[in-house]
């Protein structure tokens, strides 16, 4: 995944260099191994790019400094796929004569054959990237006499793969051409004055709240303060809805916190409260479809998959049907011969752009007559286009690469659907459903209370575990999802090796690693698995393991057995226990966050990771 940003304006009073620099910085979460800016002025392209993080490059070559009279600029922040993260491979990429510049997010699958053909026709390539074929293709179309727009259109016809791209050309200083296929692209507009393009809305949010969301196979011609859309399949103009973004830029920026990850953990209560307001109608649609379904699957990647595991547990309780959870990358492989028509598939994805999730759903749709229910945090994302029904979680923009508030809102959404099913099926007493609802509605307050009183405790635990490089996160029942997700956070942002596992299963192998002082984090709400979990705690304690437990306030059994204890301020009844994946997770997210700081890492930019994985 990469980030692209572009601006075209007719205003003399604004500094294009600063705007494009700030814009691309707000997209740094999408990739941060190299960055570049191209500006156009006096019929010439001015290119600045290098490898490294944006601030480092800024210090080195002052990216933001571009010719004063520039009214057009494009920028890119890269997460390498084809070619190492070097200066030469960083974007923008130019044609042979430095007249065309392209920034691109996605992968051109047939770039090798295109490159070979272009090379045979005399084009000189400078980088190892797939992207570089694009400016050369446009160059060769223009050489044939086509105008800028038609050259881009004809070039796009030759590409196989995914792209969100922006192009400028020196003889067309009044326009930027952008196009989208399977990689996100949004257009911001200050009518009559300035137009922006970006991979994500926060990039231009401080500048305008008016935007268009591009669809696949669309091209747009951006002029200062105006935009025209063309459907690439029909070649016809498209009239698109101008949307007003309700988020404030504060929601998209750090707002006083040292890192986005910390800010987003603190935003969990608000995100949950907003998501609790999802319309009953939408929940009922999901509930009815699931109630009448014969075969139900749930699919996702990473954190969204762990949210799905927790959600599946809650859904199954109230639905009384088996739900199969399959990682999206395995979906097609596992179901090629067994996916039945009339199946219902729940797809969960924060971004709605994860390629494996999108592909699983696309495959399922084309293969069988199935229904797709999507839960995502991003309106208009690719996944939503392949879905019969969509619920958008109300987490707000999540910038930290490690998912935090989107996890809790995904579990919450699945829980809300589950409670709607409970009402339909009437298998629970009405008074019980009321208590479950009350417990679910109390989750933001529980998290707020926890955050208020436990930061020093978490920091202290992190200090104590300073030297530990390996951890087990163990649990039973629904809390296995919490163990896996809590462990994933520590792995991602603190670079510790962890195994998130079933506590019972752990004695069938993993326990052999335990030596004196080996840290084991037990997630232990007092649900139906609690008594047996005590046995598991004893097993690991007997082998010298350092026991860290996550329990409810009133716990005094596992807490007593533990070396260190984190107490979540919530009742230990069945109504609250089932929603513990929501209330217990912030403690583990914070543990990971402070461990990351202790090890001198940047929790917002975990090594080798990207916020949205758009490659297989």
Interface stretch with ligand AGP, choices 105-113, 189-197, 287-295, 607-615 (CB under 6 A): 607-615
Q: Do 385 and 260 touch, CB atoms closer than 8 A?
A: no
Catalytic option among 2, 168, 211, 328: 2
Among positions 357, 393, 454, 596, the unique one binding ligand AGP when judged by CB under 6 A: 357
- The interface region with ligand AGP, picked from 35-43, 276-284, 351-359, 453-461 by CB under 6 A, is 351-359
Q: Which stretch binds ligand AGP (CB under 6 A): 81-89, 255-263, 301-309, 386-394?
A: 301-309
Q: Which residues contact 69 (CB under 8 A, 6 or more apart)?
A: 41, 42
Mark whether 317 is an active-site residue. Answer: no
Residue selected from 41, 70, 105, 351 as contacting ligand AGP according to rule CB under 6 A: 351
Q: Quick check: 34 binds ligand AGP (CB under 6 A)? A: no
Using the contact rule CB under 6 A, the part of the chain among 50-58, 297-305, 359-367, 530-538 near ligand AGP is 297-305
Cis peptide before 92 (omega within 30 of 0): yes
Which residue intervals of 368-429 are DSSP H helices?
382-385, 405-425
Compare residues 30 and 76 and give the one whose CB is closer to ligand AGP. 30
| Bridge partners, 323 (sequence order) | 296
For 292, residues 6+ apart whose C-beta sits below 8 A from its C-beta are none
Q: Give 351 or 454: the residue with its C-beta nearer to ligand AGP.
A: 351
Cβ neighbours for 462, distance < 8 A, ≥ 6 positions apart: 591, 594, 595, 598
Tell me, by CB under 6 A, how many residues bind ligand AGP: 16
* Minimum CB distance to ligand AGP, residue 588 (Å): 12
The least CB distance from residue 377 to ligand AGP, in Å, is 8
Whether the CB-CB separation of 466 and 598 falls below 8 Å is answered with yes
Q: Applying CB under 6 A, does 403 fall inside the site for ligand AGP?
A: yes
Touching ligand AGP, residues 485-504 (CB under 6 A): 492
Please, which residue, 90 or 303, has the CB nearer to ligand AGP? 303
257-260: long-range pairs with CB below 8 Å, 24+? 259/400, 259/593, 259/602, 259/603, 259/604, 260/29, 260/398, 260/399, 260/400, 260/604
Query: Which of 81, 172, 194, 349 is close enough to bind ligand AGP by CB under 6 A?
Result: 349
Q: Under rule CB under 6 A, which residues in 198-237 are in contact with ligand AGP?
A: none
Shortest spacing between CB 442 and ligand AGP, in angstroms: 26
Chain centroid offset of residue 388 CA: 21
Q: Annotated catalytic, 611? A: yes
Region near ligand AGP per CB under 6 A, out of 58-66, 119-127, 400-408, 449-457: 400-408
Q: Looking at beta carbons only, is 29 or 148 nearer to ligand AGP? A: 29
- Our finding on whether 301 is near ligand AGP (CB under 6 A) is yes
String of contacts with ligand AGP for each residue 41-80, x by CB under 6 A: ----------------------------------------
3-state SS record for 454-510: CHHHHHHHHHHCCCCCEEEEEECCCHHHHHHHHHHHHHHHHCCEEEEEECCHHHHCH
Q: Residue 528, SS3?
A: coil
Question: Binder to ligand AGP among 129, 354, 374, 394 (CB under 6 A)?
Answer: 354
Closer to ligand AGP at the Cβ: 77 or 357? 357
When asked if residue 325 is in the footprint of ligand AGP (CB under 6 A), the reply is: no
Name which of 189 and 523 has its Cβ closer to ligand AGP: 523
Binding of residue 350 to ligand AGP (CB under 6 A):
yes
Look at the block and give the residue holding tokens 């809590």: 486
Report yes or no: 294 and 345 within 8 Å, Cβ to Cβ. no
Stretch that binds ligand AGP, among 17-25, 67-75, 150-158, 396-404 (CB under 6 A): 396-404
Nearer to ligand AGP, 203 or 403 (CB): 403
Give the residue among 165, 51, 54 at the shortest CA–CA distance from 100.
Answer: 165
Return the number of the residue (169 or 350) whose C-beta is nearest ligand AGP: 350
The active-site residue, picked from 25, 71, 484, 611, is: 611
> If binding is defined by CB under 6 A, does position 402 make contact with ligand AGP?
yes
Residue closest to 394 by CA, chosen among 381, 380, 413, 414:
413
Residues contacting residue 430 through CB under 8 Å, at least 6 positions apart: none
The residue among 350, 351, 353, 295 whose CA lies nearest residue 326 is 295
Residue 573 pairs with which residues in a beta bridge? Answer: none
What order of strands is seen across the sheet that includes strand 497-502? Answer: 497-502, 470-475, 519-523, 546-552, 564-568
- Minimum Å gap between C-beta 286 and ligand AGP is 18
Is residue 589 a contact residue for ligand AGP (CB under 6 A)?
Answer: no
Contact 9, 27 (CB under 8 A): no
Residue 78 or residue 567: which is nearer to ligand AGP going by CB?
A: 78
Burial 362-390 (b: 16+ CB within 10 A, else e): bbbbeeeebbbbbbbbbebbbbbbbbebb
- Looking at 68-76, 93-101, 298-306, 360-368, which segment touches ligand AGP (CB under 6 A)? 298-306
Q: Decide if residue 302 touches ligand AGP (CB under 6 A).
A: yes
Q: Does 401 bind ligand AGP (CB under 6 A)?
A: yes
| CA distance linking residue 494 with residue 596, whole number of Å | 4
Q: Which is nearer to ligand AGP, 168 or 613 (CB)?
A: 613
CB of 305 to ligand AGP, least distance (A): 7
The DSSP letter of residue 359 is H
Q: Which residues of this chain interact with ligand AGP, rule CB under 6 A?
A: 301-304, 349-351, 354, 357, 401-403, 492, 609, 612-613
Q: Supply the residues annotated as catalytic.
A: 2, 611
């Amino acid at each position: 995944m990469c980030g692209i940003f572009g601006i075209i304006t007719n205003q003399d009073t604004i500094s294009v260099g600063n705007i494009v620099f700030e814009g691309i910085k707000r997209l740094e979460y999408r990739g941060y191994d190299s960055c570049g800016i191209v500006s156009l002025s006096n019929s010439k392209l001015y290119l600045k790019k290098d490898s490294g993080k944006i601030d480092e490059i800024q210090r080195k070559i002052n990216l933001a400094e571009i010719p004063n009279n520039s009214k057009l600029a494009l920028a890119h922040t890269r997460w390498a796929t084809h070619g190492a993260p070097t200066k030469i491979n960083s974007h923008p990429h130019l044609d042979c004569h430095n007249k065309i510049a392209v920034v691109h997010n996605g992968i051109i699958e047939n770039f090798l054959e295109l490159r070979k053909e272009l090379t045979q026709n005399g084009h000189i390539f400078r980088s190892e990237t797939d992207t570089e074929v694009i400016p050369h293709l446009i160059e060769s179309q223009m050489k044939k006499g086509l105008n800028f727009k038609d050259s881009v259109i004809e070039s796009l016809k030759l590409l196989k793969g995914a792209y969100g791209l922006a192009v400028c050309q020196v003889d067309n200083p009044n326009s930027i051409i952008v196009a989208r296929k399977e990689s996100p692209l949004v257009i911001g507009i200050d009518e009559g004055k300035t137009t922006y393009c970006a991979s994500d809305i926060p990039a231009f949010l401080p500048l305008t709240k008016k935007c268009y969301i591009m669809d696949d196979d669309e091209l747009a011609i951006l002029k200062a303060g105006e935009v025209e859309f063309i459907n690439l399949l029909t070649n016809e103009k498209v009239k698109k809805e101008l949307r007003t973004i309700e988020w404030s830029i504060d929601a998209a920026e750090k707002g006083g916190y040292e890192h986005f990850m910390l800010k987003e953990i603190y935003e969990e209560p608000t995100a949950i409260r907003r998501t609790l307001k999802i319309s009953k109608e939408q929940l009922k649609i999901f509930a009815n479809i699931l109630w009448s379904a014969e075969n139900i699957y749930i699919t996702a990647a990473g954190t969204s998959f762990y949210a799905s595991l927790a959600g599946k547990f809650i859904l199954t309780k109230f639905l009384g049907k088996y739900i199969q959870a399959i990682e999206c990358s395995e979906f097609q492989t596992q179901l090629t011969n067994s996916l039945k028509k009339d199946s219902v598939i729940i797809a969960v994805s924060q971004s709605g752009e994860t390629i494996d999730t999108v592909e699983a759903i696309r495959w399922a749709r084309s293969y069988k007559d199935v229904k797709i229910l999507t839960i995502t945090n991003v309106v208009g994302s690719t996944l939503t286009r392949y879905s019969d029904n969509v619920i958008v979680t109300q987490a707000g923009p999540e910038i930290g690469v490690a998912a935090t508030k989107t996890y809790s809102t995904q579990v919450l959404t699945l829980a809300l659907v589950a409670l709607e099913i409970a009402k339909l099926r009437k298998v629970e007493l009405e008074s019980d459903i009321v208590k479950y609802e009350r417990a679910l509605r109390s989750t933001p307050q529980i998290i707020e209370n926890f955050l208020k009183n436990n930061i020093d405790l978490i920091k202290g635990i992190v200090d104590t575990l300073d030297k530990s490089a390996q951890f087990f996160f163990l649990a039973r029942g629904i809390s296995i999802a919490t163990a896996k997700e809590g462990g994933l956070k520590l792995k991602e942002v603190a670079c510790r090796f962890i195994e998130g596992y079933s506590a019972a299963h752990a004695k069938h192998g993993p326990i052999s690693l335990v030596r004196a002082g080996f840290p084991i984090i037990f997630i232990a709400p007092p649900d139906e698995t609690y008594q047996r979990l005590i046995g598991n705690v004893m097993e690991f304690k007997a082998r010298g393991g350092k026991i860290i437990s996550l329990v409810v306030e009133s716990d005094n059994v596992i807490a007593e057995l533990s070396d260190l204890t984190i107490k979540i301020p919530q009742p230990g009844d069945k109504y609250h226990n089932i929603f513990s994946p929501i209330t217990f997770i912030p403690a583990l997210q914070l543990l990971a966050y402070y461990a990351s700081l202790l090890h001198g890492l940047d929790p917002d930019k975990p090594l080798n990771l990207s916020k949205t994985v758009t490659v297989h």
